[in-house]
A and B are shown apart, each in its own frame.
Chain A
Amino acid sequence: METAETPHPGATEGRLNRVTILDENGHRGSDPDFDPYIEHVTLDDLKSSYATMLTVRRFDDEATSLQRQGKLALWVPSKGQEAAQVGSARAIPKNDYIFPSYREHALAYERGVDLRDMMRVFRGYAPGGWDPREHRFNLYSFVLASQIPHAVGYAMGQKLDRQLGIGQEEHSDDAEAGGSEATVVYFGDGASTEGEAHESMVFAASYDAPVLFFVQNNKWAISVPFSTQSRLPLAERAAGYGFEGIRVDGNDLLGVQAVTAYAMDKIHRGEGPVLIEAETYRLGAHTTADDPTKYRTRDEEDEWTTKDPLVRLEKHLRLEGVGDDFFEEANQRAKEYGAEIREAVLAMEAPTLDGVFDHVYAEENSLVEEERAWFHEYEAGFEDAETQEGGR
């Protein structure tokens, strides 16, 4: 059986080294290029990152169970990718706009999205779930790679705004961002081979768009191994477009945080775009409708289980003297969060079809109102209309 990393015999040698700061045993190494970007990260910051990762892991498990119990239509597990998401989220200035794919649950959590709202999307009760502008975190994009041109277009707009001086006063006190705004787009190894990804990178380079392409390479595009997607690390592709590519161990929280901070700094200075490839692994199924045992071996899964980003960060924290009581408390909190999510899902009320008419236009529209009236009349025309009414 082909594994995710079988090299192609004709592949050429890549030149980029993979950045790792926390090794698999939790020991912190040093990297002269990137160390300055995480100097400010304290032990408490790391503990807080760990707590977030654990909470989202628990949330993810609960959502998977809820789908198996028929309470969600579908679930997309993020298990194994928490370090790549939390690490990068913590290095992106709050004013920057994020375009996620559909597996960025930890990122959503970091951006303050109420994950109970996300559950409504996966129950088929809401088309969006949250206000993207409030969290500067766009809606999930279920059409593969479609968010990449959106993001690049948005970033091109940000650049035009800057040239015209629009929105400057809003951010003028934001020293971290240097008064500017940037965009980050998340996608996976599978989406990286879509045409939109290529076109977007060409445009981003042509127009100096302030955008970070953040690839979570989780090794499997549903059942297609990464070795089929690309002969070279994806970060190498950036050179072809003329901008910088960085490879980072995606299960190393500090490594991801450092390279992302470096990239955002560079992009805000107007020297973007940048592409970061975080090499991680999807420990779960592609979605709950997928059975990974059909295309990958147990051995491969076991190997990556030992590389679990949570385990690595826990090792590091323990080396730094963090005791059992912290982990117990974090576990307890995560468990409670899972229970809250379950409670919220079970209590969800189905949306009314009437609601569809509410969001066609921002303001009342006579044509839409006419259609609404017609629909009400149509619905009332069924013999069982009264009994159905309650549920709709």
Chain B
Amino acid sequence: MSSIFNLPDVGEGLTEAEILSWKVGPGSPVQINDVLVEIETAKSVVELPSPFAGTVEKIIAEEGVTVEVGAPLVSVTVTASADGSESEPEADTTGPASGPELPADDVDSTTTVAEKEADSLAAQAAPAAGDVDQAAVPDNASASEGSDAQTAALVGSGPKADPVKRRARKRRSSGGAASGRSEESVHAADGATQPSEKLLTQILNRAPLQGGTFGSGIAERARKLAEEGRGALKRFPGRAADQPMAQAEAHRTVGSEPPRRPALAKPPVRKAAKDLGIDLADVPATGSNGQVTQRDLVNYAAHAQDVESHKPSNFWVEQGSQEDRIERVPVKGVRKATAKAMVKSAFEAPHVSIFVDVDATRTMEFVKRLKSSPTFEGVKVTPLLILAKAVIWATARNPQVNSQWTDSEILIKRFINLGIAAATPRGLMVPNIKDAQDLSLRELAVALNALTKTAREGKTQPGDMSGGTLTITNIGALGIDTGTPIINPGEAAILAFGTIKQKPWVVDGEVIPRWVTTLGGSFDHRIVDGDLSARFVADVASVLEEPALLLDM
């Protein structure tokens, strides 16, 4: 007998989880409460223990997939437990509820049907996303009463969305109430979900009232829509009954190429898209009225970034339809978090960016001297160390850059948790060095090394990433001169440290080669005005030019 384990709601009102790793595979024997799989929800990473004893038959939800609560994860062939007792009560109830009673002795056919059932359940997993009825309504029958495994688990114990469909009422003989409603109110209530034919009829019927040219325009437009089918109509769900707009739309597009979908979006989304250099028309829209939502933009931005980062070798696919040649990378984990943080910051904090070229020759000399100094033996010394120290020094002189905006107050931090943006195997992380102001140059070097090492190994703890007050992004390590970084949410400034290379530089009227770098910084203009940001960056630059200024500390 085969049983399916469906994803339970392991938190309070969670709707989905990502499969991180399976601890078992097909054929693995499992006991009750053996760990089957590790999943990540919006709240936590948890291990799911097996509700069955038996042999794993089939993994239905693969690693890396995000599945809805209630969707099947794995099927297990349930056997009698070792001491010969009966198998779990719920195991016996799974089959009958979802199909005709199977003969118990016909083991082969049982397995086959169970497999098919598992397959079809897996196939349902995606559409089940929209099927709120199935996923969110708690079971109506208890396990003992022969419900199938799909409903036996408690799901959606927390707040949940209203079901999409209303439970149908029995027809009453007195049907007066419905006919009493005006046609107008019918439109208002059902506009988005009505069958297309009905909507078309409404549009066609109304057209003559509006007069000749426009009317015929609508007729043509409507016919076109009819040809394109229901899907095309859905593009204007809220608009279909909205006469003037439909007219204008129809008028404009009659006889031309199929119209490019107008990108509906709220102003903040438009602004963010513009900032990110994204054409909203390219972004798949999921809003209730066909508008691009903030989440759509975040997902698209994250996706676009992933696609761009691919290596060029063997990248192009020359054959096949356009659809086949599109690689789809699910947005999840760090990527998702980064996108969210960046859009939040880009949305909320008006960024102002400034740049300065700096002669860092003395910094390079200083680094060289430190490397050979006995105090720094065994410690990695890089120009980033001097920059970090310079930032701490400059922050003390311009404290407002080390602050946070809340709508009622500016929180000026009288300590610095210095964030270092690091590319890690798990994606971009910004761990920070706590109370960096208390560290000596050597301690700071040790802390920097420890931080980057931990980050590269992908072992950064969440606590290491929280509470940052100011961030440095070392884009120079990637050979880039400068950029306009986006501020880490909750902070007011981020400094970009460009690559250091020899360049012609004018000293006392003569062009000579010097080690030159570019400092760039973005500041939250709600807190930091131009003069302050300029003074801060100039202070940092002055230390890179003359590290001896650090003696001032």
Contacts and interface: CB of A to CB of B under 8 A. Distances in A.
Interface of A: 1-2, 61-62, 65, 67-74, 123-124, 285, 287-291, 293-295, 297, 342-343, 346-350, 381-385, 388, 390-392
A350 B6 contact: no
Contacts of A124: 138, 154, 157
A65 B49 contact: yes
Nearest to A388: B140
Contact of A382 (B8, B50, B147, B169): B169
Chain B CB within 10 Å, residue with most, of A1, A343, A385:
A1
B154 A65 contact: no
A297 B144 CA distance: 42
B167 A384 contact: yes
B89 A349 contact: no
B9 interface: yes
Contacts of A388: 140
A350 B463 contact: no
B49 A68 contact: yes
Contact of B51 (A1, A69, A293, A390): A69
B272 to A, nearest CB: 28
A382 B154 contact: no
Interface string B28-65: 00001100000000011111111100000000000000
Interface in B126-185: 138-145, 147, 152-155, 157, 167-170
B146 to A, nearest CB: 9
B44 A69 contact: no
B53 to A, nearest CB: 11
A289 B10 contact: yes
A1 B168 contact: no
B489 to A, nearest CB: 17
Contacts of B154: 70-73, 123-124
A342 B461 contact: no
Nearest to B9: A70
B536 interface: no
B144 A347 contact: yes
Residue among A2, A289, A290 having the largest count of chain B Cβ atoms under 10 Å: A289
A1 B462 CA distance: 9
Contact of A297 (B145, B167, B461): B461
A172 to B, nearest CB: 47
Given A72-B154, A291-B43, A385-B170, A346 B144 contact: yes
B45 A293 contact: yes
Contacts of A69: 5, 8, 48-51, 153
Nearest to B52: A69
Given A70-B7, A293-B44, 4 more contacts: A68-B48, A74-B12, A290-B43, A297-B461
A205 to B, nearest CB: 37
Contacts of A293: 44-45, 462
7 contacts: A1-B461, A68-B49, A71-B154, A73-B12, A290-B44, A391-B140, A391-B145
A291 B44 contact: yes
Contacts of B18: none
Interface residues of B, number: 45
Nearest to B149: A70
B545 interface: no
Given A73-B154, A385-B170, A350 B142 contact: yes
A162 to B, nearest CB: 43
B88 interface: yes
A74 B157 contact: yes
Contacts of A294: 44, 462-463
A71 B145 contact: no
A285 B44 CA distance: 10
A391 B138 CA distance: 11
Given A291-B44, A347-B143, A384 B157 contact: no
A119 to B, nearest CB: 12
Given A383-B168, A383-B169, A1 B44 contact: no
A381 B172 CA distance: 9
Given A70-B8, A381-B170, A350 B89 contact: no
B18 to A, nearest CB: 14
B115 interface: no
A285 B7 CA distance: 20
A392 B10 contact: no
B16 interface: no
A340 to B, nearest CB: 13
Contacts of A123: 154
Contacts of B157: 73-74, 124
Contacts of B46: 68, 288, 291
Contacts of A62: 33
A71 B89 contact: no
A384 B14 CA distance: 28
B539 interface: no
B145 A65 contact: no
B68 interface: no
A294 to B, nearest CB: 5
A1 B467 CA distance: 10
B168 A68 contact: no
Contact of A350 (B7, B12, B139): B139
A2 B467 CA distance: 11
Contacts of A382: 167-170
Nearest to A74: B12
Given A68-B46, A382-B169, A288 B144 contact: no
Contacts of A385: 170
Given A65-B49, A70-B153, A290-B43, A349 B142 contact: yes
A391 B45 contact: no
A348 B144 contact: yes
Interface in B436-490: 461-464
Contacts of A287: 12
Given A73-B157, A383-B168, A391-B140, A68 B145 contact: no
B90 interface: yes
Contacts of B33: 61-62, 65
Given A124-B154, A346-B90, A382-B167, A68 B8 contact: yes
A385 B48 CA distance: 35
A231 B54 CA distance: 52
5 smallest CB-CB distances across A and B, nearest first, come from A70-B8, A291-B44, A70-B153, A391-B140, A1-B463
B168 A384 contact: yes
A230 to B, nearest CB: 21
A289 B90 contact: no
B155 A70 contact: yes
Contacts of B9: 70, 73
B51 A71 contact: yes
A292 B8 CA distance: 20
A293 B462 CA distance: 8
B11 interface: yes
A348 B6 contact: no
Interface string B72-90: 0000000000000000111
Contacts of B139: 350, 391
A346 B461 contact: no
A349 B169 CA distance: 27
A297 B9 CA distance: 26
B168 A289 contact: no
Contact of B147 (A285, A348, A383, A391): A391
A226 B292 CA distance: 45
A215 to B, nearest CB: 26
